[in-house]
Structures are given as structure tokens and as C-alpha cells.
Amino acid sequence: MAKLAEAAKGFDQFKAAVARNDLSTAKRLLTTLKLKLTELAAPPPVYERTPTSQQELLLAREVLEQAVLLSVRLQDEAAFERNFMQLKTYYTDSRSLLPASKAEALTTGLNLMRLLVQNRIAEFHTELEVLPAEAHASRDVQHAELLERWLMEGAYNKVLAARDSMPDPAYAYLMERLLTTVREEIAGCSERAYDSLSVADARKLMLFASDQEATAFAEERGWEVKGGRVFFTGMEASTDAAELPSKELISHALTYARELERIV
């Protein structure tokens, strides 16, 4: 009881800190808060039945949801992933024990976005598959699904346009990151598709606001910018798959056959 109250108090402080936008304090508070949570009996993986298990679980879930949002604000993807993994069990294992969470759609959507940003498409789809049916209906999830489809289609302009239709401001950072991902994709394609491009074209292609940005990016990638053109050097098409060592294979096969004959 006392622990729960203590944790609840800690959580209030944490929320206050977040509200103050004092992120470093919030982060510190979060760690102690998590420690307090481990002392509670109800949260996973213990799942003991205590008189206050409902509250404990609710509190724990809320803490973690806040932790996820905080990590987005801190732009710390690793922490985001950790926190979400810890949170996820509340959406799956203990789903039946608790009333639905308001923040569930948001965190799930954020997580899906994160996977897109990190280009972990397989995991993205796995996550989608395990989502409960009602979650698919939420705007957040649909948004992420759309983005993924566009990305796959190569409709990068639509992705770009989606920047303006974010379901929640929390997405801002991730959308920004998504743009970078998209740009990386385009750059990768361009390298293979063209020998060189004019800086203007490159800017348009890679969705830069200005030529300077494009030039900086090109230099970052190690491309050569000469006389207003970008040359995709350093990409000497390595001759494809090494030649098959057919002679060797044949001789191996023959040796095996010989050996087999000698065995028993």
C-alpha cells in the first residue's frame, strides 16, 4: 500500500517535471519510479493478486506510457524501444485485467513509426499482425500503415505530404527522421541509377529545401560535386557474384563419389 502510494507520489512529481519541460529531472525521476515499480507485486512478471493489483497495474502502465512519450521527446530511440517493450506486456498479457488505455493508440502508432524510421520492416509487420483488431481502426495505426505502403510503393512525395497530417504532435520527431530514411533510400537508388545528376535535380529528387543542403548531403555521402553536378563516385559496380569455382566443385564431387564407393 505504502509502496503504491509512494510510487503514485513519484509519478506525480514526474508528471510535474514533464509539464515544466524539465526533461533531465524527469528522466532521473523515471528511473527511481521504475525501481519503485519493481517492488510492487502485481506488475509483470510476478502477477500476484494483491488487493490493489488493479491500481498497481494501472499506475505501472501509465508510468511506462509516459516514459515512452518522454523518450520521444528526448529523441532517444533506444530508450523508446526499451520502454515500449516494457509497456507492451500491459497491452497484451494483462489486457484483460485493465480498462483500455487512452494512450495505447498513440504509443502503438509511435512504435510502428519508429520501426519504419529504423527501416525494420519485418518487425513492423510482425507488430501489425499481433495488434488486436480494434487497434487497427485507430487513426494512429492507419497512419503508420499508410506510410509504410507509400514507402514500399516508392511514393515518397506522399510520405512527404503526410508530414502535415500527423495525428499527434508527438510524431513530429519521428516524421523528421522518416524523411531522412526516405532520403537515404532515394540516395541509394540514385547511386545505382545515375552516373551523375545536376545539383538541382538532386535537390528535387532528395527533397531538400535548398541546393546547399543537397551539396552538404552529397559530401556527407562521399559524392563528388563538380560544376553543378553530383557525381556518384566510389560506387564502382563491384562485379557481381564471384565466379563459381566449378572446377573445384566437380573435383570435390568426384572425390566424394570415390570415397563413398570405398566405404562399406
Partner 1 sequence: MALVQQPTSAANLLALLEEDDDSLRLYALQALDRVVHDFWFQIASAITSVEAFYDDEDFIHRELAALVASKVFYHLGELNDALTYALGAGALFDTNEQSEYVQTILSSCIDRYVEMRRAEAEGREAVVVDQRLTVIVERLFSRCFTDGQFEQAVGIALETRRLDKLEEAVHRSPDTVGILTYALRVSQDLVVSREFRFEVLRLLIKLYESVESPDWVSICQCLMFLDDAAEVAKILERLLKGSEDDALLAYQVCFDLFENEQQAFSLQVWSLLEHAAPRLPQAAPDAAAHAADAGAADAALPAPAAPPAPTGATSAGFTGVPAGAAPAAAAAQLDAASEPTGGPEAAGLPAGGPAGAAAAAAADSNGRGAEPMDTDGLATLAVVAHLSPEEHAQAERWSKLHGIITGVTPISLYLEFLSSHNHADRQILKNMKAVVEVRNSVCHSAVIFANAVMHAGTTVDAFLRESMDWLTRATNWAKFSATAGLGVIHRGHLAQGRNLMAPYLPPSASGSPYSEGGALYALGLIHTNHGQAIRGFLLESLRSTSHEVTQHGACLGLGLAALGTGDEEVFEDLKGVLYTDSAVAGEAAGLALGLLCVGSASDKAGELLAYAHDTQHEKIIRGVALGLAFIMYAREEGAETLVEQMTRDQDPILRFGGMYVIGLAYRGTANNAAVQKLLHFAVADVSDDVRRAAVLCLGFVLMGVPEQCPRIVALLAESYNPHLRYGAAMAVGVACAGTGMRAATDLLEPLLSDAVDFVRQGALIASALVLMQQPEAKVAALRKRVERVVGDKHEEAMARMGAIMAAGLLDAGGRNATPALRSHSGYFRRTSVVALALFTQYWYWYPLSYCISLALQPAALIGLNGDLRLPAFSVVCKCKPSLFAYPPPVTQEAAAAAAKVPTAVLSTSVRARDKAKKKEKKKAEATADAPVDAPAAMETDDSAAAAGPKEGGAGDGGAAARASANGVGTSANGARTKEAPEEPASCRVDNPGRVVPAQERFVELDPAARWVPIKPQRAAAGILVLKDRRPGEPVELVSAAAAPAPVVQQTPAPAPAPTAAPAAPARGAPPSRNTDDEVPPPEPFEYTPP
Dihedral of CA 145/149/154/156: which sign?
negative
- Nearest-approach distance from CB 147 to partner 1, in angstroms: 24
- Nearest-approach distance from CB 112 to partner 1, in angstroms: 16
- Select 54 or 233, whichever has its Cβ closest to partner 1: 54
- Nearest-approach distance from CB 98 to partner 1, in angstroms: 11
- Select 95 or 149, whichever has its Cβ closest to partner 1: 95
Tell how far CA 161 is from the center of its chain: 20
For 228, the grid coordinates are 553543378
- Select 13 or 94, whichever has its Cβ closest to partner 1: 94
With 0-12 / 13-18 / 19 or more C-beta atoms within 10 angstroms meaning exposed / middle / buried, residue 35 is: exposed
Q: How far apart are CA 193 and CA 191, in angstroms?
A: 6
Dihedral of CA 216/217/221/227: which sign?
negative
- Select 50 or 196, whichever has its Cβ closest to partner 1: 50
- Nearest-approach distance from CB 85 to partner 1, in angstroms: 3
Binding site for partner 1 (CB under 8 A): 31, 34-35, 38, 42, 44-49, 53, 78, 81-89, 92-94, 96-97, 262-264
- Select 98 or 166, whichever has its Cβ closest to partner 1: 98
Q: How far apart are CA 51 and CA 32, in angstroms?
A: 24
Q: How far apart are CA 85 and CA 171, in angstroms?
A: 19
- Nearest-approach distance from CB 103 to partner 1, in angstroms: 17
